[in-house]
C-alpha cells in the first residue's frame, strides 16, 4: 500500500518509520499525540474507491494525516463495504499499534457508520463494533468518527 501526506507527497519509507519519526518530532516539540485511523469509500460505477487515513492529533494544536487509497471492482452490499472499510482500518491500526504502545500514544479506530438506525450503514454497526473492540482497539462511530467521515471522506469524493 502506498501512503501519502495530505500534500500528495509520497512516503518512500515504511509507514511505520514515518509515523515513528512524526511521534518523535511532535513529542520533542512538546505535543501530546493521539492517533485516529479510519477508512471511507465511494462507489463510482463498477469501481469502489477506498481511502484509509492515519490522523495524528496534537492535543489542542490541530493535526496532520497520512492517506492510502485503493480501488476494488468487487460488487458489495453496503454492509459488506462498511465491513471492508473497518477491515482496512484494523489492518492499519494493527500494523502500528505496537509502535504506539512504545511511545504511549492513544489509538482510536473510527468507522464511518451511523449510530442511528435510520441510516443504511447502521446495518454494519454491531459487527464493526465487535470486530474493532475484539481486536482491543477503542471504537468510534458517527458523529465522533471524524477520521473516516471527514478526513477519509474528503479523499474519495
> Per the structure block, which three cell numbers stand in for 66?
497520512
> Per the structure block, which three cell numbers stand in for 63?
493535526
- In our burial notation (b when 16+ CB lie closer than 10 A, e otherwise), range 98-111 reads ebbeeeebebbbbb
Sheet of 63-72, strand order: 3-5, 63-72, 47-58, 33-44, 106-114, 138-142
How do the pLDDT tens digits run along the chain, 157 residues long? 899 999 999 999 999 999 999 999 999 999 999 999 999 999 999 999 999 999 999 998 999 999 999 999 999 998 899 999 999 999 999 999 999 999 999 999 998 888 888 887 788 888 888 888 998 999 888 878 887 777 667 776 6
Positive or negative: CA dihedral 61, 52, 48, 88: negative
How many beta carbons lie within 10 A of that of residue 151, not counting itself?
A: 24
64-66-70-75 Cα dihedral, nearest 10 degrees: -50
Q: What is the span of the domain harbouring residue 43?
A: 3-156
Query: Mind listing the pLDDT tens digit for each residue in 108-135?
Result: 999 888 888 888 778 888 888 888 899 8
Quote the pLDDT of residue 157.
Answer: 62
Query: Mind listing the pLDDT tens digit for each residue in 66-77?
Result: 999 999 999 999
* Number of structural domains in the chain: 1
Residue 111: which CATH number?
Answer: 3.30.420
Amino acid at each position: 500500500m502506498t501512503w501519502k501526506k495530505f500534500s500528495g507527497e509520497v512516503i518512500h519509507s515504511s509507514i511505520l518509520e514515518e509515523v515513528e519519526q512524526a511521534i518523535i518530532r511532535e513529542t520533542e516539540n512538546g505535543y501530546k499525540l493521539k492517533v485516529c485511523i479510519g477508512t471511507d469509500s465511494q462507489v463510482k460505477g463498477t469501481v469502489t474507491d477506498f481511502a484509509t487515513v492515519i490522523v495524528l492529533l496534537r492535543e489542542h494544536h490541530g493535526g496532520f494525516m497520512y492517506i492510502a487509497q485503493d480501488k476494488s471492482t468487487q460488487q458489495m452490499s453496503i454492509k459488506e463495504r462498511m465491513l471492508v472499510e473497518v477491515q482496512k482500518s484494523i489492518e492499519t491500526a494493527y500494523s502500528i499499534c505496537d509502535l504506539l504502545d512504545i511511545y504511549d500514544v492513544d489509538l482510536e479506530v473510527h468507522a464511518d457508520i451511523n449510530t442511528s438506525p435510520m441510516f443504511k450503514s447502521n446495518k454494519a454497526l454491531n459487527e464493526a463494533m465487535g470486530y474493532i473492540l475484539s481486536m482491543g482497539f477503542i471504537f468510534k462511530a458517527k458523529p465522533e468518527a471524524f477520521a473516516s467521515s471527514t478526513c477519509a471522506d474528503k479523499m474519495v469524493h
